[in-house]
Structure 1
């Protein structure tokens, strides 16, 4: 039991350690902060279509960076999928950008989570994660309907879910909150 607890703690700590940048020694730009307009290009979806933040203007956009080896990331994805399913795509778009992994690892996670209604993007060379200054995982950016970053989260825990939900609900328009799912 004690060994399992230590192993779980080590995995959690490893997911919060800095991830190696694509070009070792290369300085990454600072992460977008609340009030900033985030980088627009997010990569291509699984059908090869380009995905941008600006194409979802007028919606709350959540961009989260994850990897198959990151346990907290793997726990976060189903939670985000439930949020996407409840709110729908009319007012919310959640985009899950994979962090510098090969196609095999990316596809394994996507296949295991095929019922999760997220827009999955593979960023094998780290172009998107580097423009966002991502060095820890999971790393989430909540972007308001005005196209500006409202909140940034690094790491994941069950305790942060309520705060995240309240932040996201606070950004949604009233008509999104009046849907039957919220009654």
Structure 2
């Protein structure tokens, strides 16, 4: 197991409240970590090339990014791993911008260490996943033959789905049947 930890400054968004050097030293002392690097913008092409080079050279087989929200760049980082030749699922992201730097003036570095430690621990357990393509059954099961169930079954049928309507009572209609 060779974990690469990549810490982003995000300009000054992270580095203004998180001590990057302390975070880097913390990562270096973590079990399974083989490479630790920091960069002004980890999402830049230069930084991406650095990650790819570490993977291709065999120094890294799983990646932890300490940066901004995964919502922003997760797909981008996963593509970087794939381009370098490893499973895109060998990635973990520690959100130290929105969850540390932007919300804590004090103790941001300690919280960043905690998030990074969790991400490194999870990275130790990562396994490459295999994507499967499965045939989809274009049918729907509607449970309950009341007004809502019947309406749902009719609408699904209009959309071209084969519908299976299941009702526990001997007849459909639900509560309307009792009126």
Higher relative contact order (CA 8 A, sep 6+): 1
- What is the TM-score when the length of structure 1 is the normalising length? 0.32
Q: Which has the larger radius of gyration?
A: 2
- What is the TM-score when the length of structure 2 is the normalising length? 0.32
